[in-house]
Chain A
């Protein structure tokens, strides 16, 4: 037997507008909020321990069961020859990378580039589905380090101002 329920308005007992989950619907996987951080400055680095690139985004999960999908896009020049730059995502002070021993989500190296790589670089990206288990404000950020030499974030080796782009980090709260 088919039933049809028609109503003009649904409110919670306190008069507020209900969420889908308040109505007993399965909302797992819904996007609850999206926030974004951007950065247009460039960096030349030599640090061999992770340091923040300054590309960060803050998000306050509405539920401790939520997941957070973090995506990050940036541009990097080739490092000085025979060296590489490794990049990873941090949640506050925690490195989210799970790999060993290299660590890091992405890497850009320069072993045979030659002179032309002075002016070149790569569009780079990474993403991670995190389970922060918190409802406190959380900061996600892109960190970088070198294995020697000089690395170039959002600039080429030559430092051309035209080589700078807008780098973006996005955090999406996914209902758990």
Chain B
């Protein structure tokens, strides 16, 4: 879940804030930071969460790709086509939607 503070920083990267319990009603705007409307924060939070959710396939692929050392070993023993087969198996398992 995208935190409130990440949504605020996506709108204003210089914001100085204190967010209690990830609660949009408990934000302290500090050091002269101009408050951002709750609706704008929530909209940005939804946008970031959607982006995060849409990239689940990337995270799944990344966690299953062999290490660089193992991929180099794959290339050495099986050539480029063999390496491609290994990688494609994982890409197909987690397709880009």
Contact = CB atoms under 8 A, between A and B. Distances in A.
Interface string A31-61: 0000000000111111111010010000000
Contacts of A159: 1, 3, 22
A49 to B, nearest CB: 6
Contact of A49 (B1, B15, B19, B30): B30
A69 interface: no
B9 A150 contact: yes
B53 interface: no
Interface residues of A, number: 14
Contact of B28 (A42, A48, A51): A51
Given A150-B5, A159-B1, A47 B31 contact: yes
Contacts of B15: 46
B30 A42 contact: no
Contacts of B18: 43-47, 51
A45 B17 contact: yes
B30 to A, nearest CB: 4
Interface in B31-69: 31
Indicate the member of A42, A44, A47, A51 with the most B CB atoms within 10 Å: A44
Interface in B1-20: 1, 3-6, 9, 15-20
Given A44-B22, A46-B9, A47-B17, 11 more contacts: A42-B20, A43-B18, A43-B19, A46-B5, A46-B16, A47-B16, A49-B16, A49-B31, A150-B5, A150-B9, A159-B22
25 contacts: A42-B20, A43-B21, A44-B3, A44-B5, A44-B19, A44-B22, A45-B17, A45-B18, A45-B19, A46-B9, A46-B15, A46-B16, A46-B17, A47-B16, A48-B16, A48-B31, A49-B16, A49-B30, A49-B31, A51-B18, A54-B20, A150-B5, A150-B6, A150-B9, A155-B22
